[in-house]
Amino acid sequence: MVQSQAEDVDGYLAEVPEERKVALTRLRELCRAELQGFTEVMAYGMPAYERDGIGEIAFASQKQYISFYLLRSDVREAFAERLADHDMGKGCLRFRRPEKIDFALLRDLLRATAAQPGKIC
């Protein structure tokens, strides 16, 4: 997906391919449930979740995969063992197929992120 020009996350989700809409909507609901005190915004053309104006989590529908951006290095380090078997860049967890998204892992990453502020990569 080319960088979205959507003004809000509802608009973003309206643009995504139909085969990804259910997974991305579920991911949004998970973010909203677990990231209490965060603000949902659009940043760099994708949904993002900020605490005190600083983005800590984001997700996007890319051409080849769904990406989950975990911008907290301390959380990534704490979950290194569980993340080892996943397609992971510096701060981006990639899922090539929506049905392969590990929502239990994402929930745990979100909870760890929400538990306390930390350093952004």
Q: Does residue 54 fall inside a structural domain?
A: yes
Is 3 inside a domain boundary? no
Q: How far is the C-alpha of 39 from the C-alpha of 54, rounded, in Å?
A: 9
Instruction: Supply the range of the domain harboring residue 13.
Output: 9-108
Report the percentage of the chain scoring pLDDT > 90: 88
Residue 4 included in any domain: no
Angle between helices 18-34 and 103-115 (to 10 degrees): 30
Rounded Cα distance, 103 and 68, in Å: 11
Q: How far apart are CA 15 and CA 84, in angstroms?
A: 31
pLDDT tens digits, 67-118: 999 999 999 999 999 999 999 988 899 999 999 999 999 999 999 999 999 8
How confident is the prediction for the chain on average, in pLDDT?
94
Alpha-carbon span 80 to 83, nearest angstrom: 5
Which CATH number is 70's domain given? 3.90.1150.200
The answer as to whether 29 is a domain residue is yes
Burial class (CB in 10 A: 0-12, 13-18, 19+), 40: middle
Mean pLDDT, range 18-37, rounded to an integer = 97
Q: Rg for the chain (alpha carbons), in Å?
A: 13
Q: Indicate if the pLDDT at residue 48 is higher than 60.
A: yes
Confidence of residue 60 (pLDDT cuts 50, 70, 90): very high
**Residues forming a β-bridge with 69:** 58, 92
Residue 4 confidence class, pLDDT cut points 50, 70, 90: confident
Name the domain count of the chain: 1
Say if residue 3's pLDDT is above 80.
Answer: no
What is the reported pLDDT for 2?
A: 59
Q: Give the C-alpha separation, 13 to 119, whole Å.
A: 29
